[in-house]
Amino acid sequence: MSRTRTALLAAMALVAGATGTAFAADPGGAGTAAVPCTVDYKIQNQWSTGFTAAVTLTNNSAAKSSWSLKWSYAGNQKVTSGWNARISQSGTDVTAANENYNAQLATGASVSFGFQGSYSGSNAIPATFTLDGVTCNVDDGSTGPTDPPGPGGPANRVDNPYSGAKVYVNPEWSANAAAEPGGSRVANQPTGVWLDRTAAINGAGGKMGLRAHLDEALRQKGSGELVVQLVIYNLPGRDCSALASNGELKADEIGRYKTEYIDPIKAILADPKYASLRIVTTVEIDSLPNLVTNTGSRPTAVPQCDVMKANGNYVKGVGYALNKLGDVPNVYNYVDAGHHGWIGWDDNFGASATVFKEAATAEGATVNDVHGFITNTANYSALKENNFSITDNVAGKSVRESKWVDWNRYVDELSFAQAMRNQLVSIGFPSGIGMLIDTSRNGWGGAARPTGPGAQTSVDTYVDGGRYDRRIHPGNWCNQAGAGLGERPQANPAPGIDAYVWMKPPGESDGASKEIPNNEGKGFDRMCDPTYTGNPRNNYNMSGALPDAPISGQWFSAQFRQLMQNAYPPLS
């Protein structure tokens, strides 16, 4: 469809939300019927001989128990593989029919699927789509009166926003880092901006608000490309298993989350002033895996997590955020996917991926609103354990049988992130998704860093003597003693990995080591107390936390100095 036709359609239609939402033929006129269906066809990635496309179909007619969408290409495009639909092609004619699991299509409901194709010459978007023989309207994502002005609309998102781009340096974090002895060595590194309560949007406690950060990002950008990293972190009943990072919203306050938190963030990000920025959002860390690992009859179950699973507000909140923020053409949503020491076990891995998809298709969101996933956010899991592998056998036992690995499928974060990416694609996420890994505190350098494998007297001496990760237990997460800065932020570091990032700003506390009254809703978690002897989630080990820590998010000088001292690669 031509850009001119798109503009005409947009001018005569009201879009009630961008992705996968119906055009109304005459929103102001009573008695005018809505168009029977709309199709949002977006080319996500394109290269000299091929492309990937994402399609969202919205049904505005009677509910359907099955569906079939057809279109024809004007060129020589060929569909080579697809997901979430059974796609066939005869000549230039293409048919996409439902799978068994997405056959039901209620009135007003949407379904999304994607595919990879080949072409030569031009790759024009099809002019006409029919749903069960009825012609639909179509929006090709081109910039028109209803689209936020930007770099051509969602279809023009780049495959990897970090490629060829600088990344925003938060001047507030940079000043804290530079004020520490030796901190100037890393004060110019990019870190995430945490929107961890509603007040953070406009600025709280004398800190910069979202617009102030975006304005500074425009200044840093200059004439090149620049990524801004935002942490979307304010779900109702937030962090149901960790009191230190509980939030301001109660378990049932999903309405406030939508209208007081996500909607204002979207309004700012959609301001045309910021259309030239590449805005990466990491959506609601430490939330969805809790619904798998800390609920039901498991020994690690937490009553508050059962509440959040029952009310569905983690899934609804993440879905709403993905849907609304995904409407902004220059926003790239990355969903938090835990870390290997949390969901790397067989009974957690696939189940967590399923929950991620449930959230990515809730509240109007589709899998195409997800650009990728992030692992190890604010955690300490080693990036790559070089001294042992999951397939090693020592003294008649596999590494999986060691106390440290404890039957996990993964021994480090890189292998986990790459495997999780494959799992997510296999259940219907687009094949172009990329992963981020937070390396802000997983370097584990310094004098305690092993230089080779441990003794082969037993599988435990072999693993414990060789592992870089020096935590007492991989379930320990709060202000860990002995940790160091990890790999510096960089783009395209490994297959399937969009970037290593410092999403958690090094030196900002995970939680207070004793109860400290505050107005941010943050409780005292014993896992931040260095005298705590543990719980089922860390197999009743000591917490390994540093003493004298402030509440989460506040500057923790002693931790930052330790992180620099133990950095790996070392600081020069």
pLDDT digits 0-9 by tens, 309-352: 999 999 999 999 999 999 999 999 999 999 999 999 999 999 99
What is the identity of the amino acid at 528? C
**Would the pLDDT of 1 be above 70?**
no
Q: What percent of the chain shows pLDDT beyond 90?
A: 70
CB 162, CB 500: distance < 8 Å: no
**Would the pLDDT of 179 be above 50?**
yes
pLDDT digits 0-9 by tens, 461-510: 999 999 999 999 999 999 999 999 999 999 999 999 999 999 999 999 99
Q: Out of 14-18, 231-235, 444-448, which region has the weakest mean confidence (pLDDT)? A: 14-18
CB 456, CB 462: distance < 8 Å: yes
**Would the pLDDT of 557 be above 50?**
yes
pLDDT digits 0-9 by tens, 241-290: 877 667 899 999 999 999 999 999 999 999 999 999 999 999 999 899 99
**Would the pLDDT of 94 be above 90?**
yes
pLDDT of 138:
54
**Would the pLDDT of 152 be above 70?**
no
Q: Where are the beta strands (DSSP E) in 21-76?
A: 23-24, 37-46, 50-59, 68-72
> Please, where are the H alpha helices in 147-209?
171-178, 199-202
User: Confidence class of residue 21 from pLDDT cuts 50, 70 and 90?
Assistant: very low
Helices and strands: H and E segment counts in the chain: 14, 22
Gap between the Cα atoms of 412 and 382, Å rounded: 6
User: Confidence class of residue 208 from pLDDT cuts 50, 70 and 90?
Assistant: very high
CATH topology of domain 165-383+416-442+487-516+554-565: TIM Barrel (3.20.20)
Catalytic residues: 286, 510
CATH class of 3-147: mainly beta
Output the six-digit token pair for 414: 């890189």
pLDDT digits 0-9 by tens, 138-151: 544 433 333 333 33
Output the six-digit token pair for 175: 């000043």
Same-fold call for 3-147 versus 165-383+416-442+487-516+554-565: no
Spans of all domains in the chain: 3-147, 165-383+416-442+487-516+554-565
Output the six-digit token pair for 64: 């359907």
User: Confidence class of residue 15 from pLDDT cuts 50, 70 and 90?
Assistant: very low
In terms of pTM, does the model score above 0.85? no
Gap between the Cα atoms of 236 and 42, Å rounded: 33
pLDDT of 136:
87
**Residues 13-42: what's their mean pLDDT?**
46
**Residues 380-392: what's their mean pLDDT?**
97
Strands, sheet with 129-131, edge to edge from the N-terminal-most edge strand? 78-83, 110-118, 50-59, 37-46, 134-139, 129-131, 68-72, 93-97, 86-90
pLDDT of 34:
59
Q: Out of 298-307, 403-412, 542-551, which region has the weakest mean confidence (pLDDT)? A: 298-307
**Would the pLDDT of 389 be above 60?**
yes
State the pairing for strand pair 434-438/497-501.
parallel
Mean pLDDT of the chain: 88
Give me the DSSP letters along 242-311.
Answer: -GGG--SS-TT-HHHIIIIIIHHHHHHHT-GGGTTSEEEEEE-TTSTTHHHHSSTTSTT--HHHHHHHHH
pLDDT of 243:
76
